[in-house]
């Protein structure tokens, strides 16, 4: 992958279980194609507004499994034009406006060497959550068996029809103490699960299971600022510089002015 393509991202479309990728290349010289403005208008109206309104209608208000399937198998693929290439500023072309609608997100980070296996695992779990008759692949069965999670996985059967694309983003490694991309020479990929439902019990069940199992199977890390159902014991081995971070917090913030209950309990400061 081109090291300059820092913002490449791709999407797993549920229920069709196909991938759609956004790719970019750095132009040799600054330029803007004639269709760039039209592309932004198309993206905003059809995806940022249209897709999200249909997600709300089919998945949240009507709670229709069939209509959610129809959305991702027929409507969304039909509305995407994969050969449409434009030239413009990246901050205009690769921006998603999902913040226009209130939602909850869990973001799980895995190393580049794990992202393919992790994507298969997430797909298998979401398929089972949607369809109680789904049979796991042999690889997923072996993974679940290795952490004694088969029974818990089966308890998710038919509990949730996931109604949002699973978003994968590439993140370069950094040298900070406890960021999700710290302490590794590999690139990282974040896997985002979003829900627009107000009643979130089923989403929490599936998302918590994915978090707990992917930590064990793929050494995954969860985004601190999004839904993050982890404990201090689960993250202790993931961040080698965590003791240093704790000491800095105690030294410069002894009274906990810049901490809250989540930070104190999760990071054990």
Q: Over the stretch 44-77, which tens digit does the pLDDT of each residue have?
A: 999 999 999 999 999 999 999 999 999 999 999 9
3-state SS, one letter per residue, for 171-227: ECCECCCCCCCECCCCCEEEEEEEECCCCCHHHHHHHHHHHHHHHHHHCCEECCCCC
pLDDT at residue 3 in the model: 43
Q: What is d(CA 247, CA 262) in angstroms, rounded to the nearest whole number? A: 17
- Chain mean pLDDT for the chain: 92
Look up residue 66 and give its two tokens.
């069939």
pLDDT at residue 2 in the model: 44
Q: What is the pTM of this model?
A: 0.93
Q: What are phi and psi of 177, to 5 degrees?
A: -80, -50
**Domain spanning 9-233, CATH class:** alpha beta
Q: How confident is the model at residue 1 (pLDDT cuts 50, 70, 90)?
A: very low
Q: Give the model confidence (pLDDT) of 181-204 as tens digits.
A: 998 789 999 999 999 999 999 999
Q: Give the model confidence (pLDDT) of 137-150 as tens digits.
A: 999 999 999 999 99
For residue 81, CA distances in Å to 27, 35, 46, 77, 130 come to: 21, 13, 11, 8, 28
Contact 146, 167 (CB under 8 A): no
Q: Domain limits of the chain?
A: 9-233, 239-267
Q: How confident is the model at residue 4 (pLDDT cuts 50, 70, 90)?
A: very low
């Amino acid at each position: 992958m081109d090291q300059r393509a820092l913002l490449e991202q791709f999407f797993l479309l549920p229920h069709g279980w196909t991938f759609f990728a956004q790719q970019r290349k750095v132009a040799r010289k600054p330029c803007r194609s004639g269709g760039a403005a039209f592309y932004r208008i198309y993206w905003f109206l059809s995806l940022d507004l249209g897709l999200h309104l249909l997600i709300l209608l089919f998945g949240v208000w009507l709670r229709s499994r069939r209509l959610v399937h129809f959305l991702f198998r027929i409507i969304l693929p039909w509305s995407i034009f994969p050969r449409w290439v434009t030239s413009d500023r990246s901050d205009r072309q690769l921006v998603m406006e999902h913040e226009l609608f209130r939602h909850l997100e869990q973001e799980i980070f895995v190393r580049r060497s794990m992202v393919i296996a992790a994507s298969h695992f997430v797909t298998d779990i979401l398929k089972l959550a949607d369809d109680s008759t789904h049979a796991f692949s042999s690889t997923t069965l072996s993974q679940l068996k290795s952490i004694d999670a088969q029974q818990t996985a089966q308890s998710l059967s038919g509990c949730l029809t996931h109604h949002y694309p699973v978003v994968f983003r590439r993140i370069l490694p950094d040298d900070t103490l406890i960021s999700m991309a710290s302490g590794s020479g590999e690139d990282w990929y974040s896997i985002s699960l979003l829900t627009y439902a107000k009643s979130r019990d089923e989403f929490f069940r599936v998302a918590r299971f994915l978090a707990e199992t992917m930590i064990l199977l793929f050494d995954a890390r969860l985004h601190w600022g999004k839904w993050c159902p982890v404990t201090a014991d689960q993250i202790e081995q993931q961040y080698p510089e965590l003791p240093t971070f704790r000491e800095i917090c105690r030294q410069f913030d002894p009274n906990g002015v810049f901490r809250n209950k989540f930070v104190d309990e999760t990071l054990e400061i």
